[in-house]
Structure 1
Amino acid sequence: MQKSQTRRIAIIVPGGVGETPEGGKPLAPLANLLARIAKEFGVTVYSLSRVLPAAPLSGGPVFRLRAAPGRHGDPLPARMARLAGLLLKDHFTERYCLVHGFWAFPAGFLAVMLGKLLRIPSIVSLQGGEAACVPQIRYGNMYHPRLKKITLWTCRRAGELTALTRFQEQELRRFGLEREGIRIIPYGAEAQFYPPGEKKLLPPYRFLHVGNLTEVKDQPTLLRTFARVSREAACELRIVGPDYLNGELQSLAAELGIAGKVAFTGHLSHAELPAHYQWAQALLHTSYYEGQGIVIAEAAAAGVAIAGTAVGLIADLGESCAVAAPVGDDKMLAEKLLFLLRRPEEWENIRRNAREWALQHDAEWTAGEFLTLYQRALEGGKAVFSAGFKDFP
């Protein structure tokens, strides 16, 4: 496809595409995806968060980046209104053919509203907790009644809707979403950065966890699972990610008697992760909820066996590609891991199947799916406008 200045699209994000004055960093999978899309379309990315004027990727500016004017801490409605005004002003000189919002709210909601106003196709891509309802930690759009209503309205009224996994789609349907044609497009790994290392299944077994240390990741279940396994097999655990729990997990590791077997690295850049995937034999990921879990795709691409709770991508991959247990069930997960550690051939089959899936669904595949979706939306004409503002929340 030849890039044409007449084929311009507006992409709305809450953040994650550039460095912020407060020290925030780009989300590498999202920024890399937008860079690939920008090779085929003229792309302007509108960020609800303030961003520094530097290029979001080291290769130089590949898409135009605009941010809502204002100060840090301004109310969300004010930032949404300013960003909408900025996009509308640009549209009258650049004439966008499509508007795409990542995350249902606020970016996806804005994309649907602006698409209807400008009479251009809108796409909404679900990303994080849109389908989640975790009462014990008050997490997820489906837990909060007002946000649930806005999210479901946005999903119904988007011209095209994408989800990261079938699990995410099914959860939304469980909460009342009724629409056809939801596209499942997970983030693929940059497979060339994750070459498989030597993965002979020999003790001490090397377990890895990558993720923010937060309540939704349910790392207490992770530690309890590892503690059960470590009582019967020599093993070690490396936990990579910034600590937002103020040392609670380190204290729990000490209580469980595994502090000497668990290493907490703290925050590491995305570029530093491949070395840890090469070190690991298995990824442990025990979240309450995941829309996908990009680390699962990255670990699989690196030839690391996948184990965790049956949410997000682990739920989609199934038993042929992952070791899964219900949310919070450290006993079952540990039993399954110990069973497979004694059966290297079965372990190897699961590891190999996951890697094959990851290589077939890499970052290039993800970008190709979105480009195909754009073409479908642009060929759909004005059918996407028929719903108007019916059921506006």
Structure 2
Amino acid sequence: MKLAIVVPGGMDRTGEYRVIPVFLALIARLARHHEVHVFVLHQEPLPATWSLLGATVHNIGNGWTRLRAIAALRAEHRVAPFAVIQAIFSGSCSLIAVAAAKLLRLPSLVHIAGGELVALHAIDYGGRRRWKGRLREAVVLRATDAVSAASAPIVDTLALLGIPARRIPLGVDLTAWPPLAPRRRAAPRARLMHVASLNQVKDQTTLLRALAALRDAGVDFAMDIVGVDTLQGRMHGLALQLGLEAHVRFLGFRTQRELRPLIAAADLLVMSSVHEAGPLVLLEAAVAGVPTVGTAVGHIAEWSPSAAIAVEVGDWVGLAAAIQRVLVDEALRCRLAEAAQHRALAEDADYTARTFEALYRELLARRGGSA
């Protein structure tokens, strides 16, 4: 099959910086058996083309991006026809993919991977905050041939909107993240980990307030926070204000190669997001034998209580209590780690690629086409 995949970014030519690891894992696996063309909207400001992991990446660049992306899809289709066009993320990606597919009379798929379905006005986040976004999603998600999403809560949200969807997690590349057996804590001081860009969606304010409560409860811990700071130092300031300088380190951006040993050395991953379709780091931590406590979003919500512990969004008191509960009950922590790893290994990057390939073939069969 010749496949077209439309993504917003995450496909840098270095393959290491400014990338989305699950995108790379999926593209690499599809490219083993198919001709894959990735149309990335804003990786670089100017149009360009490069090869990455066996696929051809077409960077659209700034200025009239949607129209030029549709034109680029049509031009590559004239070289040799695509079988299907897929968008990973809705919004502009799905609009481009579905419009091009309609023009070329091809099947299309849309995978919901972020905040396309939410309207969080307090932090100015989500694809449904304005009427244009709501209208676009209503039209595009009903015009496409199939909709998928990474986790059950997103599938449930789509069902409430009257849109049937399939759950297809974006799994971990086990060649990049070799599984590590869950293990007992090695030291009295708990090693905690948080991996996310510092922004309002990831809600590190709740995280830091939970850590202050944890310290006040007499729990001995050290927290490493990995992620790009988009809040101009506000979280560093809050950590100082809360007196957490002896407990928290802000490590900034880390590549996947640098992140792996940090997660492997942790006892617990802690997430505080107000919204997630995933998050991927929960899956990576699970593969590394590390369980997760976090807010009830995405995989954390669907895995709780057997393979993760979830609390209400914004509940820093509950988050602190949940962390303490897991840290004082080593048998519970190990059970969570084992159950989480079982789930993550069953739905790894190979599973994701196979599931999408089966969906492509199903859509082609519906139209009487061939793979």
| TM-score in terms of structure 2 length | 0.92
Q: 2: distance between equivalents of 1:142 and 1:8?
A: 32
Is 2:218 the partner of 1:226?
no
Q: 1:48 to 1:360 in 2, by over 3 A?
A: same
Aligned equivalent of 1:17: 11
> Residues 134-161 of structure 1, C-alpha deviation per residue, up to 9 Å, x if partnerless?
1210110122221122112211111011
**Cα displacement string for residues 189-248 of structure 1 (whole angstroms, at most 9, x for unaligned residues):** 123424327732342011000010111100011111122122221111000111111111
Amino acid at match of 1:195: P
- Alpha-carbon distance change, 198 to 241 in structure 1, aligned in 2, over 3 angstroms: same
Please list every run of 5 or more consecutive structure 1 residues that lacks an aligned counterpart in the other structure: 1-6, 384-393
Aligned pairs for 1:1-393 (under 5 A) are 7-19=1-13, 25-51=18-44, 53-57=49-53, 62-68=54-60, 72=62, 74=63, 78-174=64-160, 177-180=161-164, 182-192=165-175, 193-196=177-180, 199-201=183-185, 202-231=187-216, 232-381=218-367
Give the Cα–Cα distance (whole angstroms) in 1 for the partners of residues 103 and 261 of structure 2.
48
Task: Flag the 1:54–1:11 CA change in 2: closer, same or farther, 3 A.
Answer: closer
Contact 2:89 2:110 in 1 (8 A): yes
Contact persistence 2:2–2:35 (CA under 8 A):
yes
Report the Cα distance in structure 2 between the residues aligned to 1:345 and 1:213, rounded to whole angstroms. 32
RMSD: 2.0
Distance of 1:24 and 1:143 partners within structure 2: 30
Give the distance between the partners of 1:10 and 1:187, measured in 2 at CA.
Answer: 18
**Contact 2:294 2:319 survives alignment (8 Å):** yes
Alignment check: 8 A CA contact 1:26 1:56 kept: no
Distance (Å, rounded) in 2 between the aligned partners of 1:191 and 1:226: 31
Change (3 A) 1:331 1:137: same
The number of equivalent residue pairs is 362
Conservation of the 8 A alpha-carbon contact between 1:283 and 1:307: yes
Cα distance, 1:233–1:197 mapped onto 2, change above 3 Å: farther
CA gap 1:345/1:24 in 2 versus in 1, 3 angstroms: closer
Give the Cα–Cα distance (whole angstroms) in 2 for the partners of residues 318 and 233 of structure 1.
23
Q: Which stretch of structure 1 is more off in the superposition, 48-57 or 33-42?
A: 48-57
Contact 1:191 1:302 (C-alpha < 8 Å) held by counterparts: no
Instruction: Output the CA distance in 2 between the equivalents of 1:305 and 1:194.
Output: 16
Q: Secondary structure at the match of 1:327?
A: coil
- Identity %, equivalent residues: 30
Q: Distance between the aligned counterparts of 2:288 and 2:17, measured in 1?
A: 27
- SS at 1:104's partner residue? coil
Distance, in Å, in 2 between the alignment partners of 1:114 and 1:379 is 20
Q: Distance in 1 between matches of 2:182 and 2:87?
A: 40
For residue 193 of structure 2, what is the amino acid of its counterpart?
Answer: L
TM-score, with structure 1 as normaliser: 0.87
Distance, in Å, in 2 between the alignment partners of 1:258 and 1:324 is 24
Secondary structure at 2:87 match in 1: strand
Q: 1:210 is aligned with what amino acid?
A: V
- Unaligned 5+ runs, structure 2: none
* Range with bigger deviation, 216-225 or 148-157: 148-157
1:195–1:301 Cα contact (<8 Å) kept: yes
Extract structure 1 runs of 4+ deviating beyond 4 A.
50-54
Corresponding residue for residue 386 of structure 1: none
Give the Cα separation in 1 of the matches to 2:18 and 2:51.
12
Distance 1:42 1:263, change over 3 A: same
**Within 1, Cα distance between the matches of 2:129 and 2:318?**
27
Structure 2 counterpart of 1:3: none
